[in-house]
Amino acid sequence: MATMTYLQAISDGLRQEMRADQRVMVMGEDIGVFGGAFKVTDGFIAEFGPDRVMDTPLAESGIVGTAIGAAVVGLRPVCEMQFSDFIACGFDQLVNVAGKMHYRQGLAVPITVRLPSGGGFSGGPFHSQNPEAWFMQSPGIKVVAPSTAEDAKGLMISAIRDPNPVCYMEHKHLYRRIKGEVPDGIYETPFTARVAREGTELTIVTYGAMVHTALEATEDLDGASVEVLDLRSLVPLDTEAILASVRKTSKVLIVDEANRTCAAGAEVAAVIAEHAFEDLDGPVTRIATPDVPIPFSPPLEQAVLPSVDRVKEAARELLAY
């Protein structure tokens, strides 16, 4: 197995699927000649040509709409939104057309929408959002969020092969910071949770970049045994894995980088409260980003995003409850 960065693993997953399946194509702003804003598709146009690596106008609605049409006639497009924030401009096509096409007309819409998301790099309010909750509430759309290089590749392949529209949340802060061994060739990662670390005294439920924050915060937390559950998929949500972990430890801390109101963490909290209330030895505790735009200022950005210190403090309080 090769060691890859998170970014390289995403790129490898795309490349492997494009080599294996002529129906797979990629499209987006500056993804061809320039190789993408973050260089995920660097070299793709030379290998696959402009018919399968399409530079598009600055028009997210047009990108998603074109992808839907291509998918309906048998292709498997992968759209890149240069930043996840910009999907708002393609919201109608994705939510009201792609998400409802199968229900209304019985047609599969196998499109994957790559959404470079998240903060931590002083990108400011228009380049740092985590909009996954927008699509969790939209019928017909799946949502995945890898935290490791291995899962970044495997979930990309699974998303491309899925007959439903899939929002692929790739966290920008992880692109070149996270490395790991990645299996060669083609493999699929299931849309289920994984236990990132086994534990018996406390469960932390999280996903994306916050998996690494949680692991760092609890690596040596006064000798406590802390389980970290990486959701990987938000739709479908692996409620069985969540409830199994909570019933084992009896205490749960949810860490979510998205804005607090109606985010993925809120749904996890509701599931636990409904189905595992009697198994709990303490309150369902949450850490999330306040409902404010992400600041440009590095100190202010770090003040609003969940941090290692905040996770440590919340975990200690819950363990002592």
Same domain, 39 and 154: yes
Calculate the dihedral angle through the C-alpha atoms of 27, 29, 30, 35, rounding to the nearest 10 degrees: -50
| Structure tokens, 306 | 């969940």
**Cβ pair 191, 233 in contact under 8 A:** yes
Distances (CA, A) of 161 to 45, 103, 109, 154, 165: 22, 19, 11, 11, 10
pLDDT for 140-161, tens place per residue?
A: 999 999 999 999 999 999 999 9
List average pLDDT for each run of 10 residues in the chain, which is 321 residues long: 96 98 97 95 97 96 97 97 94 96 94 95 89 95 98 98 98 96 97 98 98 96 95 98 98 95 95 96 94 90 93 96 91
Same domain, 263 and 174: no
The closest alpha carbon to 253, from 313, 169, 170, 193, belongs to 313
Which pLDDT score is estimated for 282? 94
- Kindly report whether the global pTM for this prediction surpasses the value 0.75: yes
Q: Residue 187 falls within a domain, yes or no?
A: no
Which pLDDT score is estimated for 31? 96
**Residue span of the structural domain in which 254 resides:** 194-319
**Cβ pair 255, 223 in contact under 8 A:** no
Same domain, 10 and 123: yes
Report the DSSP beta bridge partners of residue 77: 25
| Structure tokens, 236 | 């479908």
Same domain, 203 and 228: yes
Which pLDDT score is estimated for 274? 97
The residues assigned a catalytic role are: 127
Same domain, 144 and 201: no
Which pLDDT score is estimated for 16? 97
Which pLDDT score is estimated for 124? 87
Q: Report the number of distinct structural domains present in the chain.
A: 2
